Amino acid sequence: MVRPRRDTDLPALCAGLREVHAASGYPSVWPADPAAFLAPPALGAWVAELDGVPAGQVTLRPADEPLPAWVAATGLGAAETAVVSRLFVAPAARGRGLARALLRAAWAEARAQGRRAVLDVHTASAAAIGLYEAEGWVRVATMTAPWHDPDGTSPQMHVYVAPT
């Protein structure tokens, strides 16, 4: 089940994110305030539940101004885009289609708002890349990420745009 996220979901989502971080390295650097990381200013946010417990989430954010280089690489402007972010599913809940359902919820909202959904992903995130490509998203760029991995290096990231 996918539904809009509520503030009361954040403790369970923070716990799930901690498990994802330990298992998959996302986010690559653990945030000082995990709840704030999960709840940036958004156009929408959704939770996937498993047995009534939040097991994953996604947010849809406006593009920042000035436009980040990775969003500019899409060829779209800020008003035309909506950024899919903070998509994760706890390890114990994987393999049930929850990430796909979350991605589709954010993507549908972007379309409803007349925007193209865009996202960036670490090139090492094979499962996420597989999902985006299976859903028909188009890779438009590969570039150096604006964040650092724990070892201090800046990884490579892919930039994707949702199909129309």
pLDDT of residue 56: 98
Mean pLDDT of the chain: 96
Q: 150: which 2 tokens?
A: 């724990």
What CATH number has the domain bearing residue 39? 3.40.630.30
> What's the rounded mean pLDDT across residues 31-51?
97
Q: Of 81, 153, 89, whose CA–CA distance to 123 is shortest?
A: 153
pLDDT of residue 12: 98
Would you place residue 125 in the very low, low, confident or very high pLDDT band (cuts 50, 70, 90)? very high
**Is 63 a residue whose pLDDT tops 90?**
yes
Are 59 and 39 a contacting pair, CB within 8 Å? yes
**Is 164 a residue whose pLDDT tops 90?**
no
> What's the rounded mean pLDDT across residues 91-116?
97
Query: Distance (Å, rounded) from C-alpha 43 to C-alpha 27?
Result: 21
CB within 8 Å of 92: residues ≥ 6 apart: 19, 55
Query: Would you give the DSSP letter of residue 2?
Result: E
Under DSSP, is residue 107 helix (H, G, I), strand (E, B) or coil?
Answer: helix
Q: Could you tell me the pTM of the whole model?
A: 0.96
Query: Distance (Å, rounded) from C-alpha 115 to C-alpha 42?
Result: 14
pLDDT of residue 7: 96
pLDDT tens readout for residues 84-103 = 999 999 999 999 999 999 99
Say how many domains are in the chain: 1
Domain that holds residue 146: 2-161
Angle, CA 105 vertex, CA 134 and CA 78 arms, to 5°: 90
- Please report, rounded to a whole number, the percentage of residues in the chain having pLDDT higher than 70: 100
